[in-house]
Structure 1
Amino acid sequence: MSPHRIALLFNANKVYDRQVIAGIGQYITCTRVKWDLFMEEDFRSRTVGIRQWRGDGIIADFDDPMVAEAASALSIPVVAVGGSYADESHYPAGIPYVATDNQKLVQLAYDQLIEHGLQRFAFFGKPPSPDNRWAHEREMWFRRLAAADGLEGFVYHGSPTSAGGWGRAQEEVAEWVGSLPKPIGIIAATDARARQLLQACIVADVPVPEQVAIVGIDNDPIVQMLSCIRLSSVIQGAEEMGRTAAQLLHQMLHGGDYSATRVLVPPAGINVQASSQYQCIRSPHVMRARHYIRQYACMGIKTEQVACYAGISRTSLEEHFKRELKKSVHQVILDHKLETARHMLANPLVSLSDVAVRSGFTSLQYMYAVFRREFNCTPKQYLEQLRAS
């Protein structure tokens, strides 16, 4: 029997789309279905010529209005993947729809900020556009959550990002952050938005998370690599969405009628990192110092440089740190380097020597000595324990 020809209409430059595609691939591998998959060579989603395509089925990203319009007009089985809607009438008629649960995505981010003791909240979304319906659904749920708690939820849409307008867009975000009451927790519609917010805070010298705690959505590893302060992010259940969409299409190809099916897939969890770990710090000097340490600890900074940035003497800064954190400045710097090293040890593609250099240790031997002193094991032993857990 010849394989079914299936088109995947996704933009694989986005981590969400890549994870959906990965889930489709997992379903194919586990079930051993015979599918001949079509994707554009550059992994972009294009609808040109799709009506003339002689295939058997399609799985498509219906968050893209052009894709949704083109795929909905076809007579072959189609499974839609996209954001969820509070209003049922917004779902496409007669097409099975697998959706990320926007309400639960925002709820998870909101709960994370509440758990850290914050009482003010904001949302950094996207400008109104047919392409951004999913972002406006997340904004709506944020407004509802804040209203249910009797709180004012601050919302900012920002500008579309482009190379030419980037500088001004960042200035506008910094101005918005400066206008907010603090401390405050901010949920970003995506990790890309969260990274833009994080950069604006750094430029505006606003300590993260002491003044602004940030949670993104997507858990995008590229954004993590490009962020000098590690970003907390909600993990979408995108791979499960892909597996579910593939299963629905598989059943439709064998005569199943799933035209009225709606599947809401909850988030897979939250990756909690430094950007949301707010602590009530009274000393503005400690806030500034920790903000500086998070950015530059792995670049070999010393206590004197931190004190200079905080604007007080080393002795005074040490007193502030011992009073607020019960630690020395040096220990806080070291803790950050160790945290960075532990994260990198989980990546098998990074050698131990690279881990040492990129974590700010002067040598591999010194990193070994610090691990033995702090954790009573070597980095290799720590890595083995990590893999065994």
Structure 2
Amino acid sequence: MPSPHRIALLFNANKVYDRHVLTGIGNYLTSTRVEWDLFMEEDFRSRTVGIHHWRGDGIIADFDDPVVGETLCGMPLPVVAVGGSYADPANYPAGIPYVATDNARLVRLAYDHLIDQGLQRFAFYGLPPTPGNRWAMEREQAFLDMTRADHLEGLVFRGSPTSAGGWGVAQEAIADWVRALPKPIGIIAVTDARARHLLQACIVADVPVPAEIAVVGIDNDPMAQLLSRIPLTSVIQGAEEMGHTAARLLHQMLHGGCLPQQRIIVPPKGINVQASSRHVPMNNPHVMRALHHIRQYACLGIKTDQVADYVGVSRTLLEEHFKRELKLTVHQAILQHKLQTAQQMLADAAVPLADVAVRSGFTSLQYMYAVFRRELGCTPRQFAEAVQAGEAVPGVAEPLTVPKRAAL
């Protein structure tokens, strides 16, 4: 029996995008029963050190890192590149098969979603231009091309590289930009990490999300979702498919296939729509501010009085505004947000029901069961089983909407 091929995977497993690519590679090996002896450097900063002396059979690598690309060009081993797409074909590495995420279509999904929300102003929060951020510049340019084609002004803010020491200054700069933007406006963040920074800046600047600023990220990073007070809308990259495709190409090359100019552009899988981009035009600034506060703190157990204190009006007056604008009480709006949060978590079979109850702000599992039965006509377990099986969901807590008469 021949020995397994020795394959190096040169990726930064600290990044969600790279992890999804690696998952796709693993899925290919599992589905085809191909046996590879995989090597991946524990410290990603050392991934290219001594690679020319490595006695292996093939390499799959992240070519968004220019150091990796420069190091591997001319390697005598079969190499498959993974990275971002380029508008100019000359930017792709010569003589190496390349599997790319479609940067333009990632931005297009986010842009079209914001248009669907009724927004007419748009901005982009990107990254400073560096050799390692070429993919970010491609996304920024795609955004500018789209707004220009629609005869709109596309506003861009790149901010600064984030570090613990300079984070306070960087966040204040984002907050200043947010305050100065014309509103309402939709902002596309180049990654979920940048989107999370943006949401934090909106909280610092006391700018309601999504009433005045709707935010869409890219990556669908579970960690960004977990660490964001306001659930983040995000475009889902086809990174696992990229990894699967890269492994297939390398497998072909290891068995004599010649694919020097093969270039495969993988489209995004879709968009995970959450509260950060569900823009609803509102007439009442008190309701707008109240909903902004509810989206941040509903799952932490806030009460109507606390919302009224934040808005700066009496509870009675706030209730009147809510009934006029939303046909809901403040308590019902808080409960609706808790239900939406619980429903999203119930789609994940790995999250215990007790954890869902706590993280969505219910005082007990029993209370969550009672609310689900009353509001949706099913138990949380029945809801979870239906969602996870892809069946018709017994009930759905809709996002807050403004009745048409109130929006006129």
Q: Is the 8 A contact 2:81 2:97 kept in 1?
A: yes
Determine helix, strand or coil for the equivalent of 1:233: strand
> Which has the larger displacement, 38-47 or 209-218?
38-47
The residue identity in structure 1 corresponding to 2:372 is F
- The reply on whether 1:131 has 2:132 as its aligned counterpart is yes
- What do residues 139-167 of structure 1 show as CA deviations (whole Å, max 9, x unaligned)? 00000000000000000000000000000
Give 1:119's aligned residue.
Answer: 120
- The reply on whether 1:171 has 2:172 as its aligned counterpart is yes
- The reply on whether 1:22 has 2:20 as its aligned counterpart is no
Determine helix, strand or coil for the equivalent of 1:80: strand
The residue identity in structure 2 corresponding to 1:124 is Y
Q: State how far apart, in whole Å, the 1-side matches of 2:303 and 2:8 are.
A: 55
Q: State how far apart, in whole Å, the 2-side matches of 1:16 and 1:355 are.
A: 26
Q: Is the 8 A contact 1:357 1:363 kept in 2?
A: yes
- The alpha-carbon deviation at position 44 of structure 1 amounts to 5.6
Q: State how far apart, in whole Å, the 2-side matches of 1:388 and 1:73 are.
A: 48
After TM superposition, list the pairs within 5 Å mapping 1:65-84 onto structure 2. 65-84=66-85
Give 2:246's aligned residue.
Answer: 245
- What do residues 247-295 of structure 1 show as CA deviations (whole Å, max 9, x unaligned)? 1111111111110111100001100000000000111101100000001
- The alpha-carbon deviation at position 73 of structure 1 amounts to 2.8
Q: State how far apart, in whole Å, the 1-side matches of 2:338 and 2:375 are.
A: 12
Q: Is the 8 A contact 1:13 1:44 kept in 2?
A: no
Give 2:111's aligned residue.
Answer: 110
- The reply on whether 1:219 has 2:185 as its aligned counterpart is no
- The alpha-carbon deviation at position 30 of structure 1 amounts to 1.1
Q: State how far apart, in whole Å, the 1-side matches of 2:171 and 2:185 are.
A: 19
- The reply on whether 1:385 has 2:386 as its aligned counterpart is yes
- The reply on whether 1:38 has 2:39 as its aligned counterpart is yes
In structure 2, do the counterparts of structure 1 residues 43 and 159 end up closer, same or farther at CA, with 3 Å as the change threshold? closer
Q: Is the 8 A contact 2:349 2:388 kept in 1?
A: no
The alignment yields a C-alpha RMSD, in angstroms, of: 1.0
After TM superposition, list the pairs within 5 Å mapping 1:1-389 onto structure 2. 1-42=2-43, 46-389=47-390
Q: Is the 8 A contact 1:12 1:44 kept in 2?
A: no
Report the TM-score when normalising by structure 1.
0.98
- The alpha-carbon deviation at position 31 of structure 1 amounts to 1.1
Q: What percentage of residue pairs aligned between the two structures are identical?
A: 72
Q: Is the 8 A contact 2:61 2:81 kept in 1?
A: yes
Q: Is the 8 A contact 2:348 2:388 kept in 1?
A: no
- The alpha-carbon deviation at position 42 of structure 1 amounts to 4.4
> Which has the larger displacement, 171-180 or 379-388?
379-388
Q: Is the 8 A contact 1:10 1:45 kept in 2?
A: no
- What do residues 279-317 of structure 1 show as CA deviations (whole Å, max 9, x unaligned)? 001111011000000011111111111111111111111
Determine helix, strand or coil for the equivalent of 1:155: strand
Q: Give the unaligned 5+ runs of structure 2.
A: 391-408
Report the TM-score when normalising by structure 2.
0.94
Q: Give the unaligned 5+ runs of structure 1.
A: none
In structure 2, do the counterparts of structure 1 residues 265 and 68 end up closer, same or farther at CA, with 3 Å as the change threshold? same
Q: State how far apart, in whole Å, the 1-side matches of 2:273 and 2:351 are.
A: 22
- The alpha-carbon deviation at position 45 of structure 1 amounts to 5.8
Q: Is the 8 A contact 2:96 2:261 kept in 1?
A: yes
- What do residues 75-127 of structure 1 show as CA deviations (whole Å, max 9, x unaligned)? 11100000000011100010111000001000000001000000000000000
- The alpha-carbon deviation at position 325 of structure 1 amounts to 1.3
Q: Is the 8 A contact 1:9 1:45 kept in 2?
A: no
The residue identity in structure 2 corresponding to 1:306 is V
Determine helix, strand or coil for the equivalent of 1:2: coil
Q: State how far apart, in whole Å, the 1-side matches of 2:383 and 2:157 are.
A: 43
Q: State how far apart, in whole Å, the 2-side matches of 1:294 and 1:159 are.
A: 28
Determine helix, strand or coil for the equivalent of 2:70: helix
- What do residues 183-226 of structure 1 show as CA deviations (whole Å, max 9, x unaligned)? 00000000000000000001110000000000000000001000
> Which has the larger displacement, 357-366 or 51-60?
357-366
- The alpha-carbon deviation at position 352 of structure 1 amounts to 2.0
